[in-house]
Structure 1
Amino acid sequence: MQKPPSINLSFLALLGILYSVQSVLGSITFQGMPAVFRESGIEPIQIGLIYLLMLPWVFKFLWSAPLEIWRQKQTYRTKKLFFIVNGLAITILALLTITTPAVDFYLVFALLMVIAVLSSTVDIALDGYAIKESNVREKNWVNVMQIGGGYLGSIIGGGLFLLLVGLYDWKWAICAIVVFLFLMLSYVFFQQQSTPHQQSDIAPHQSLTKAFSSKKILYGISIVIIAQLGLRLAQGMAMPFFVDYGITLTQLGLVASFGGATVSLLAVFLTGLWIAQKGPWFVLLTLLVAQLFIYLSYYYFSLQEQLSFFEACVLFLLNSACAAASFVALYTILMRLTSPEQAGVDFSLLQSVDTAIALLAGISSGVLVQNLGYQNYFLFCCIASLSAVVTLPLLFSFLSSSYKEVI
C-alpha cells in the first residue's frame, strides 16, 4: 500500500505569511482607509472612488500567463519575486507618512495604486505556486492558509491600523504597520527555497485562451458573480456606517483587531472541518442564507439614529464570521475548478472577476448611501443575497451531474 504524501509545514508557513502580507496591504486600502477618510471629512461618494484601486486585481489576468511562464522557468525566481516585489510595496506604503488624506487625497491615492499593482502581481505568482506545488493532503490546508492568512492580515490592516490611528495618529500607525510587514517578510528572506515537489525548468504552455475555453472556469465565473454580489456590496460602506452611527475609530479598531481576530480565524478553521463533512456547496448555500439575515439586521439597525457599542460589536462579529466562512467555501470550489497546469492563470481570472464585482459594488455603495441612505443600501444587499440563495442551487444541480469532484 502506497504511503500517503507528507505535509510540508515549512511550505504551509511560507504561504500563510505571504498571504498575510498581501492581505495587510489590501486591508489597509479597502478596510482601514474608508473609515479614516470618513473621519477626515471626505464625502461618501469620494470614498467610493478608492475602489478604483481594485483595477490592478481586475486586470491582473492579462499579465498572469507571461508572469507564470517566466516564474516557472527557474525555481529561484519564485522566492526572488516574493521578496523584492513585496519589499517595494511595503517601502511605498512607508511613503504615505509624508502626507495625510485630508491634506493630499490624490497623492495618497496614487501611492496606494502603485502598491496595488505590485501586490496584485505577487498574488498571481503566490496562487499559482500554492496550488501547483501542494500535494493531495496539503491542498485543504493551502486553502486554510490562504483564507486564514487573508483574515489575519485583515485584522492587522483593517483593525489594528484603525486602532493605532485612533490612539496615536496617521504617521505612527503607518510606521508601525511597515515595521511589522518587514519583520514578516524577513521569514521569506531567511528561509530556504521551499519546493515540496520537483519543478521543471521548462514551464508548461499557459494562456488566457485555455482558461476561457474551459467550461469549468466559465462555471466558476458564474458562481463568483452570483455568490459574491451581496457580500461585496455590503463591504463597501460597512465601516463608514459604524462611524456615521456613532462608533469611534478606537472602538472600531478594538472590535476589528481583537473580536474580529477570534471569530474570523475560528470561522476559517471550523468551516474547513465543516466542508470535509458536508462539502463546499452545502456550506456555501447555508452561509448565504445566514448572510441574508445579517444584512436584514443591518437594515433594522440603520433605522436608528445611533448604534450602541454592543450592537455594533454583534453586527460586526456576525458579519465577519459569515464572510470568513463563505470565502473558505467559495474558494474551495474555485480551487477545484482550476487546472493544475496553469493554476496561476485560471485562479487569477476567477479572482479578477471577484475583484471586478468588488470594484463595481464598492463604487455603487458610496453612490447608494450618498443618494438613498443606509436603509435602502442595505435593502439592495439583501436582494443580492436572496438572488444568490435562489439561483445557486439551480447551478449546483447542473454541475453535480458533470463535475462531481467539485461538489
Structure 2
Amino acid sequence: MLLTGITGLYVAQSIIGGITWTGLPAVMREAGVPLDRIGLVSLIALPWVLKFLWSPMVERYRLPTRGRNRSGTIVLIGGLISIFGLILAGAFEPTRWMPLFAILTVVAFAASTVDIACDGFAVQSLATSQHGWANAAQVGGAYLGSALGGGLFLYLIGTSDWQIATWSMAAALFLLGLPFLLVAARAPKEGTREHVPSLLHALRRPRLRQGLFAAAIFVVALKVSLGMIGPFLVDAGVDLATIGILNGTGSLIIGSAAALIGGACVRAWGTKPVLILALILQASLLALLAASRITGAFPVSVIMTVAVASSSGVMAFGFVALYAQFMRLSDPRQAGVDFTLFQCADAAVSIAGGVIAGQIAEAFGYGIFFTAAAALALGAVPLIASVAKRETPGLGAANDTHAPPESVRSTFS
C-alpha cells in the first residue's frame, strides 16, 4: 500500500510535467506561437529549481521536533492547489500563453512542494529491501505520468478540445493522490526527532556537492533537446493526435522497457557505464534528427521513431542510474532536503537549456540545433567519465539509501 501511494504521487507529478513540457509546446506551436516563446515554457520549471530554498521549512514542518508526521497535510494542500490550477487553466485558450504560464507556475510551486514531502516520506518510511522498488516506482511513475500528461492529454485535445483534456487531467490528479493520503493517515501519531533539517548540513558534505556537479553535466547533455522535439514533429507535418499517441506509446512501452533495461544494466555494470552509454546513444539519435532536417531524406515514420527513442527510451535508460544516485546520496534524516537539491540541479539546467534551445532553433533552424545538441551530449562523455568513479557491479545504488553519508563508496559511480 505504501509503494502504491508513493507511485500514485509520482505519476501525478509527472502528469503535470507532461502537460507543461511535452503537451503545451506542441499545442502552442499548432496555435501559431513562435518557437522563441515556446522556449519560455521552460521558465515554468522555476519552482522546481528554487524549491531547495523552502525544502528545509517543509521538512521541519513535516518532521517536527515532537509530534506526528505531517506528510499527508502537505500532499493534501498541494494536491488541491494543483487540481484547481488545472481546472482554471482549462478556461483559457492555448494562445493565451501569459495567463497559462502564470497558472502553471503556481501549479509547479504546489507540485514541487508535494514532491519534497513525498521523497522524504519515501526514503524515511520504506524498508531497505524496498528501495529498489522505490526507484522503479519513481522512474516508472514518471513515464506513466508522461504518457498521460504528454500523450493522452494531446490525444484528447486532438479528438475533443483543450478544456476537456485539461479537466480530465485534473480528475486524474485527484484519483492518483488518494492512496497516499490513506497511507499517510496511518503514520505514527507521535515521534521525537533530534536532527534539524538544513541546507547547510547537506552542502557541507563533499560527496553531495560533487554529485550535484555531475548531475548538472549529465542532465543538460541529455535533456536540452526535449522541449523542441514536439514542435519539430509538428513542423514535420505530424498532427497532435498522432504525437499524443506517439508520446503515450513511447512512455508506456519504450520508456518503461528502457527503465527496466537500465536498472538491470546498473546492477550488472554499475552506474558509470550506464550514464556514458546513455550520452552516446542520445548523441547518435540527435545526429539522426539533424540529418533528417538537413537532407530531408528521412520519411516521417523514421523521424517519429528516432524522436520517441530519444525522448522516452534513452531518457529512461539514463535517468534510472541518475536517480539511483540521488537516493543513495540523500541523508534519510533530511531526505526531502538532500533529494531536493539534486532535483533542483536537474531543473536549473533544464530551464537554461530549454530557453537557449528555443532561441537557437528559432534563429538557426532545427538542423543546426540538433547538431549542436548531439555534439553537447558527446562532449559530456569525458566529463562524466572523469567525475564518475568505479562501482562494484551488482550493488544497486538505491539499496544503500539509509547508509550513513560517509559510507557511500563513490560519488557518482
TM-score by length of 1: 0.92
Are the structure 2 counterparts of residues 203 and 317 from structure 1 closer, same or farther at C-alpha, using a change threshold of 3 Å? Answer: farther
**Residue matched to 2:101:** 109
**Residue matched to 2:303:** 312
Distance apart, 1:42 and its partner CA: 0.4
Which residue of 173, 187, 191 maps to 2:165?
Answer: 173
Please give the secondary structure, in 2, of the residue aligned with 1:65.
helix
Instruction: Give yes or no for the alignment of 1:373 onto 2:379.
Output: no
Distance 1:364 1:375 in 2: 15
Distance 1:141 1:36 in 2: 35
**Residue matched to 2:215:** 224
**Residue matched to 2:179:** 187
Conserved 8 A contact 1:11-1:194 = no
Distance 2:249 2:194 in 1: 43
Instruction: Give yes or no for the alignment of 1:32 onto 2:38.
Output: no
Which residue of 334, 347, 355 maps to 1:355?
Answer: 347
1:253-402 equivalence runs, <5 A: 253-305=244-296, 308-319=299-310, 320-397=312-389
Are the structure 2 counterparts of residues 257 and 286 from structure 1 closer, same or farther at C-alpha, using a change threshold of 3 Å? Answer: same
Distance apart, 1:221 and its partner CA: 1.1
5+ residue gaps, structure 1:
1-9
Instruction: Give yes or no for the alignment of 1:91 onto 2:84.
Output: yes
Please give the secondary structure, in 1, of the residue aligned with 2:46.
helix
Please give the secondary structure, in 2, of the residue aligned with 1:202.
coil
Are the structure 2 counterparts of residues 202 and 290 from structure 1 closer, same or farther at C-alpha, using a change threshold of 3 Å? Answer: same
Which residue identity lines up with residue 101 of structure 1 in the other structure? P
Conserved 8 A contact 1:242-1:307 = no
**Residue matched to 1:3:** none
Determine what percentage of the aligned residue pairs are the same residue. 32
1:342-371 CA-partner distances (Å, limit 9, x unpaired) = 211111111111100000000001100111
Distance 1:177 1:306 in 2: 38
Which residue identity lines up with residue 83 of structure 1 in the other structure? L
Distance 2:411 2:207 in 1: 11
* Superposition CA RMSD, Å: 2.1
TM-score by length of 2: 0.91
Are the structure 2 counterparts of residues 151 and 211 from structure 1 closer, same or farther at C-alpha, using a change threshold of 3 Å? Answer: same
**Residue matched to 1:7:** none
Please give the secondary structure, in 1, of the residue aligned with 2:255.
helix
Q: How many matched pairs?
A: 396
Conserved 8 A contact 1:236-1:363 = no
**Residue matched to 2:228:** 237
Distance apart, 1:105 and its partner CA: 1.9
Distance apart, 1:189 and its partner CA: 4.0
Which residue identity lines up with residue 75 of structure 1 in the other structure? R
Please give the secondary structure, in 2, of the residue aligned with 1:98.
coil
Which residue identity lines up with residue 234 of structure 2 in the other structure? V
Are the structure 2 counterparts of residues 89 and 402 from structure 1 closer, same or farther at C-alpha, using a change threshold of 3 Å? Answer: closer
Conserved 8 A contact 2:8-2:176 = yes
Conserved 8 A contact 1:85-1:122 = yes
Instruction: Give yes or no for the alignment of 1:250 onto 2:241.
Output: yes
Conserved 8 A contact 2:293-2:367 = yes
**Residue matched to 1:157:** 149
Are the structure 2 counterparts of residues 397 and 179 from structure 1 closer, same or farther at C-alpha, using a change threshold of 3 Å? Answer: closer
**Residue matched to 1:55:** 46
Are the structure 2 counterparts of residues 209 and 190 from structure 1 closer, same or farther at C-alpha, using a change threshold of 3 Å? Answer: closer
Are the structure 2 counterparts of residues 231 and 12 from structure 1 closer, same or farther at C-alpha, using a change threshold of 3 Å? Answer: same
Conserved 8 A contact 2:390-2:410 = no
**Residue matched to 1:6:** none
Please give the secondary structure, in 2, of the residue aligned with 1:99.
coil
Distance 1:81 1:202 in 2: 19
Which residue identity lines up with residue 74 of structure 2 in the other structure? L
**Residue matched to 2:68:** 75
Distance apart, 1:307 and its partner CA: 6.1
Which residue identity lines up with residue 57 of structure 1 in the other structure? W
Conserved 8 A contact 2:388-2:412 = no
Instruction: Give yes or no for the alignment of 1:14 onto 2:5.
Output: yes
5+ residue gaps, structure 2:
393-406
Distance apart, 1:272 and its partner CA: 1.7
Distance 1:199 1:373 in 2: 59
Please give the secondary structure, in 2, of the residue aligned with 1:315.
helix
Distance 2:191 2:411 in 1: 27
Conserved 8 A contact 2:2-2:183 = no
Are the structure 2 counterparts of residues 309 and 202 from structure 1 closer, same or farther at C-alpha, using a change threshold of 3 Å? Answer: same
Distance 1:34 1:306 in 2: 26
Are the structure 2 counterparts of residues 403 and 368 from structure 1 closer, same or farther at C-alpha, using a change threshold of 3 Å? Answer: same
Distance apart, 1:151 and its partner CA: 0.9
Instruction: Give yes or no for the alignment of 1:403 onto 2:409.
Output: yes
Conserved 8 A contact 1:72-1:203 = no
